[in-house]
Amino acid sequence: MRIVMMTNSFRPHVNGVARSVEAFTREFRRAGHEVLVIAPEHADAGGEYGVLRVPALQSFTGNDFSVALPVPSGLYDGLERFAPDVVHSHHPYLVGDAALRVSRRLGVGLVFTHHTMYEHYAQYVSDDAPSLRRFVKRLSTGYANLTDLVIAPSDSVKEVLAERGVETRIEVVPTGVRLEDLDVGSGEGLRQVLGIPPDAPVVGHLGRLAPEKNLDFLLDAVERVLAEIPRAQFVLAGAGRMEKAIGERLAAAGLGARFHPMGVVSGKLLASVYKTMDVFAFASKSETQGMVLIEAMACRAPVVALDAPGAREVVRDGENGRLVGRESVDAFAAALRSVLEADASRREALREGARRTAEELSLARTARRMVELYSEVVARGEPEDPEESAWADALERFRTEWRLIRNAAEAAGAAMFGPDEGGEEPAG
């Protein structure tokens, strides 16, 4: 099968969408499929196979996102030569608009993965966050209804999309992890490098260090645990706008000697970081899937997480970690301690439970399911009448542009007039 993946976020940028697109792309290619990735240009990109970069604004709104500009017309010639069987869009705007145009122009099906609860990121681009939240909710819902199949990374997201009015068929396909990539590295070796005693309890976290990840709450709980267990250590991997502030906060609390910032990690070091952890702490409430949770579990690290989308589908309370039902620092810290202070047999049971969960969500399985769904979309296509193809093509292009304009206009109306005019109450 020939697959086009169109995304606003791709390596070397590090976030959940970029990692998901790259993971599926690698697995599809291993299975013998041809994949062309279309993504924004990036200053650090280079030496890539099967990636077509389009013009983009770098460091959009002062962070590390690249935002794609209108796709050049020459792109369509290249796509016609590639002759895809299916187009897979990973965003409802910018490159996502281009994905809709491409799919309709080439007469192939369009699949859309709703990776993100976009309203949680409104503060990055507007001071009027409530209006923007209404806008992006309506925009993404309208976009989903222009596609042929919607992929939700979790059951929680599928439920939200249905409630918001997505009428296109929705299937749940999490990204999964490639277990072989994480069966490397050494937690013991990294502990030696970091100066962490072999028997010291370690709380860990990995992810983008940004406010919407609920990191202030997480740090409150971690500080509590470090204060109550003097030998405990904290390992943190990732980068983002809160990185400096986190270091300063822990230093001011007198915990700098037990705090081990790792920055962005990959490959063997990524696996080693997970393997240093006795428990992985996760407090985000804005996730659509728990990729880092599955990665941690693949490395046999039990997880303590808030009961929220992305976590509740993965964490099984008492089997592979603890799922905390209320956003309470006391409750979350107590759950972390219950894992760290469990006896050896209990800790081993949690570790084995974590690995079993990861095996159930292996990338090989989820990629096979995605290809099955692609095949269903392709099979639904109808043969084109050659005598009517020119007129049908022109008409379909007009309809596509009109749908995009109408979707944007309706989303703008929802943002301006609010819930009384068909919008939704802003989150939070």
Residue 78: per-residue pLDDT = 84
Confidence of residue 11 (pLDDT cuts 50, 70, 90): confident
For residue 110, the one-letter residue type is L
Residue 61: per-residue pLDDT = 44
More confident residue, 282 or 16: 282
Same fold, 2-176+364-421 and 179-361: yes
Architecture of domain 2-176+364-421: 3-Layer(aba) Sandwich (3.40)
Lowest mean pLDDT among 173-177, 225-229, 254-258, 412-416: 412-416
Confidence of residue 70 (pLDDT cuts 50, 70, 90): low
For residue 334, the one-letter residue type is A
- Mean pLDDT value of segment 51-72: 57
pLDDT in tens, 75-134: 788 888 999 999 999 988 878 888 998 998 899 999 999 987 655 544 444 444 566 667
Which CATH code fits 179-361? 3.40.50.2000
Residue 118: per-residue pLDDT = 59
Lowest mean pLDDT among 121-125, 216-220, 349-353, 360-364: 121-125
Whether 200 and 276 have beta carbons less than 8 Å apart is answered as: no
Residue 53: per-residue pLDDT = 84
What proportion of the chain, given as a percentage, has pLDDT over 70? 79
Residue 132: per-residue pLDDT = 62
Confidence of residue 410 (pLDDT cuts 50, 70, 90): low
pLDDT in tens, 263-278: 999 999 999 999 999 9
Residue 72: per-residue pLDDT = 62
Long-range CB contacts (within 8 A, 24+) of 28-32: 28/1, 28/3, 28/367, 28/370, 28/371, 31/367, 31/368, 31/371
Residue 428: per-residue pLDDT = 32
pLDDT in tens, 157-202: 999 999 999 999 999 999 889 999 999 999 999 999 999 999 999 9
For residue 89, the tally of other CB atoms under 10 A from its CB is: 29
**pLDDT for 418 beyond 70:** no
What proportion of the chain, given as a percentage, has pLDDT over 90? 62
Q: Give the highest mean pLDDT range of 52-56, 194-198, 307-311, 415-419.
A: 194-198
- Mean pLDDT value of segment 400-425: 50
**pLDDT for 135 beyond 50:** yes
Q: Give the highest mean pLDDT range of 6-20, 273-287, 371-385.
A: 273-287
Residue 386: per-residue pLDDT = 43
pTM above 0.95, yes or no: no
Residue 281: per-residue pLDDT = 98
- Mean pLDDT value of segment 363-370: 95
Residue 234, CA distances (Å) to 257, 294, 427 in order: 10, 20, 31
**pLDDT for 3 beyond 80:** yes
The structural domains of the chain, with segments of one domain joined by +, span 2-176+364-421, 179-361
Residue 32: per-residue pLDDT = 97
Whether 409 and 120 have beta carbons less than 8 Å apart is answered as: no
What mean pLDDT is reported for the chain?
85
Paired tokens of 49: 């196979």
Tally the residues of the chain. 428
